[in-house]
Amino acid sequence: MKFFALWLLTITLSSAKLTVSSLNPILTDFIERVGGDKVEVIQVMPLGADVHSFQPKAAQVAKMQESALIFAMGKNIEQYLGGLQQTLQGDQQIIEVGRSIPSQKVDADPIYSCCPAHSKGAIDPHWWHNVENAERAVKVIAAALEEADSTNKGYYQENATALRKEYRNLHNWVKSEVSKIPKKQRTLVTAHAAFAYFCKEYKFEAAYVEGLSRESEISAKQFADTVKTLKDKKVRAVFPEKLANPKMLKQIALETNAKVGDALYADAITTSYKKMIEHNVTSIVNALQ
């Protein structure tokens, strides 16, 4: 009987899943791909929420108490992390996945052509639009899972290696697709400044009408300046974003004789990172080539 009880306890412990929390659906995709059937993920922020303004409710914070690890995008996009840290147990950790990923600053990088006064000096948090950064994120997530659950270290390493290879192929596919667009036509016009990492990596000139957040607004002067700039550049298309109001961009398209391209995924609106990138790149290439 004692042997059976010990055997049952061993089986139970070996099959128990590591519980972690994800503060962004994009991270959930990464974690589930690396963690597989060894990890249970509590997704805190729902699909479609604005990553810049989302705040977890008390019930969500309480649910996170079950997690050994809490994964955040980082780069100050979750501005509530300081308060959340104070609610955690001593052995819980917040892993800011974007912390070790190279940053771009709004006022220090010429890729930004929208009014930098909206967020002067701020770090752009939208690192995931450069697929190489997704590879880096997978490495960070795998290391955290391995440390928290060393029994399954080899399993996590194997999954992470396969996923990083998949994203390396995706990165190369993006470069191949955008090469179909003549260089003089590679101006990416979007509403808010979510695509600077994409533009810098894949050699686009960025033109952002608003600031870093979907909720930003622009003045009449900025609107007029934007229209003049885009007319001078003879832009072929402007791109709204999923779940964002396209009114401003439609106005600009009308003023500049540009077409309105398919709406792009900027933030946490899809459960598949790969499908998000594929949709965005296909939409951009179809409109600009």
Q: What pLDDT score was predicted for residue 130? A: 98
Kindly calculate the radius of gyration of the chain based on its CA atoms and give it in whole angstroms. Answer: 21
- The reported pTM is 0.86
Position 120 pLDDT exceeds 60? no
Beta bridge partners of 189: 207
Neighbouring residues of 200: CB distance < 8 A, sequence distance ≥ 6: 104, 109, 111, 130
Kindly list the domain boundaries of the chain, sorted by start residue.
180-288
Ranges 35-44, 116-125, 168-177: which has the least confidence? 116-125
Residue 157, exposed/middle/buried by CB under 10 A (0-12, 13-18, 19+)? middle
What pLDDT band is residue 210 in, cutting at 50, 70 and 90? low
Contact 175, 285 (CB under 8 A): no
Q: What token pair was written down for 57?
A: 């409710």
Q: What token pair was written down for 49?
A: 């929420």
Q: What pLDDT score was predicted for residue 162? A: 98
Position 11 pLDDT exceeds 70? no
Percent of the chain with pLDDT over 90: 61
What pLDDT band is residue 191 in, cutting at 50, 70 and 90? confident
Beta bridge partners of 104: 124
| Average pLDDT along the chain | 86
**DSSP 3-state assignment of 284?**
helix
Ranges 15-19, 21-25, 135-139: which has the least confidence? 15-19
Tell which wins on pLDDT, 250 or 167: 167
Position 115 pLDDT exceeds 70? no
Tally of residues, the chain: 289
Q: What pLDDT score was predicted for residue 267? A: 82
CA 22-24-30 angle, to 5 degrees, is: 70
Tell which wins on pLDDT, 227 or 269: 227
Q: What pLDDT score was predicted for residue 231? A: 87
Q: Tell me how far apart the alpha carbons of residues 200 and 206 are, in angstroms, rounded to a whole number.
A: 8
Query: How large is the average pLDDT for residues 114-123?
Result: 54
CA 66-68-70 angle, to 5 degrees, is: 95
What pLDDT band is residue 89 in, cutting at 50, 70 and 90? confident
Local structure of residue 96 (DSSP, 8 states): E
Q: How far is CA 101 from CA 97, 126, 197, in A?
A: 8, 11, 11
CATH class entry, domain 180-288: alpha beta
Question: Helices 153-178 and 273-288, interaxial angle, to 10°?
Answer: 10
HEC sequence for 252-264:
HHHHHCCEECCCE
**DSSP 3-state assignment of 244?**
coil
Contact 273, 30 (CB under 8 A): yes
Ranges 46-60, 162-176, 270-284: which has the least confidence? 46-60
C-alpha 206, offset from chain centre: 18
For 115-148, b where at least 16 C-beta lie within 10 A, e where not — what string?
bbebbeebbbbbbbbbbbbbbbbbbbbbbbbbeb
Tell which wins on pLDDT, 264 or 119: 264
Run of H or E including 250:
helix 247-256
Q: What pLDDT score was predicted for residue 271? A: 82
What pLDDT band is residue 218 in, cutting at 50, 70 and 90? low
Q: What pLDDT score was predicted for residue 244? A: 76
| Helix residue ranges per DSSP H, 49-130 | 58-63, 81-87
